[in-house]
Amino acid sequence: MNDWEIGGTQNKWVCPSDRHLQLRAQLKSGWCVRTATARSPTKAKAQGCCITEAEQEVIRSVLARAEMSKAHEQQRIGKMVDRFEKMKNRATGNGVTQCHLCSTDFGLLASKSYAAMCFDCRKYVCQRNCGVETYDPRRRENVFLCKICSEYREVMWKKSGAWFYKELPDYVRPTDNGDVRSPPFYAKTWQHQSKAAQSTGSLPYRHRQLPAIPDQSK
């Protein structure tokens, strides 16, 4: 144990620790340091660390900016969630004989009424107006998605950062009466679906199905 570790003695020069020696060898900055300029951890701990009022103000300003940035991010995600929920609530078709989104009856004469099945929700929608064809990197082929499932993948999964956290982050959803925070069941649902996808080893998009739309006839 050298003088650096025990707190320093009367020696004018002390040998740094092995970690500092290795770092100094890489930086080519010499092998020794002065005792007066390199205080030992024991002396530094005994003297204590004092933060000035200016430094405290800087720390408080940094924390305030972090809270503001977090609030803006929650509001951004809340707007995407609100737009997605409104789109989902506007879907009134049965998804079998009618378009799931616009409720158009399918037929063979009108080109706009050609039916196509969504790869995620397995409901039929208008191929031209109510769905998009996108590339699925897991299947390595193009798949057809309705606009709700496409919005779910792009916004709720990618742009919200849920792909990183494996769940939907906290959000503040805008309402007419004021901002309302995210309900707790969203995080639980995403955690449950992500664990189910890992346990079964199947495609995660198939486990992250959209919540069932309430029956309008009741």
Number of Cβ atoms within 10 Å of the Cβ of 188? 11
Of 4 and 72, the structure prediction assigns the larger pLDDT to 72
- At position 5, the amino acid (one-letter code) is E
Look at residues 195, 138, 139 and name the one whose alpha carbon lies nearest to residue 166.
Answer: 195
pLDDT of amino acid 61 = 92
Residue 154, CA distances (Å) to 10, 95, 134, 145 in order:
66, 22, 11, 11
- pTM score of the predicted model: 0.50
Paired tokens of 101: 């989104």
- Residues 111-148: tens digit of each pLDDT: 556 788 888 888 888 887 888 888 887 888 888 888 88
pLDDT of amino acid 178 = 57
Look at residues 120, 97, 108 and name the one whose alpha carbon lies nearest to residue 204.
Answer: 120
